[in-house]
A and B are shown apart, each in its own frame.
Chain A
Amino acid sequence: DIVMTQSPDSLAVSLGERATINCKSSQSVFYSSNNKNYLAWYQQKPGQSPKLIIYWAATRESGVPDRFSGSGSGTDFTLTISSLQAEDVAVYFCQQYYSSPYTFGQGTKLESK
Chain B
Amino acid sequence: QVQLQESGPGLVKPSETLSLSCTVSGGSISGYSWHWIRQPPGKRLEWIGDMYSSGSTNYNPSLMNRVTISGDTSKNQFSLQLKSVTAADTAVYYCAREMFDYNGAGIGFDIWGQGTMVTVSS
Contact = CB atoms under 8 A, between A and B. Distances in A.
Interface residues of A, number: 26
B44 A100 contact: no
B62 A101 contact: yes
Nearest to B45: A104
Contacts, number: 57
Interface string A37-62: 01010100000111110011001010
Instruction: Give the residue among A38, A42, A102, A103 with the most B Cβ atoms within 10 A.
Output: A102
Interface stretch (B19-27, B71-79, B82-90, B105-113): B105-113
The majority secondary structure among interface residues of chain B is strand
A32 interface: no
Contacts of A30: none
Nearest to A56: B107
B44 A34 contact: no
B112 A50 contact: yes
Contact of A100 (B58, B105, B109, B113): B58
Interface in B36-94: 44-47, 58, 60-62, 94
B60 A101 contact: yes
A104 B94 CA distance: 14
Interface of A: 31, 34, 36, 38, 40, 42, 48-52, 55-56, 59, 61, 93, 95, 97, 100-107
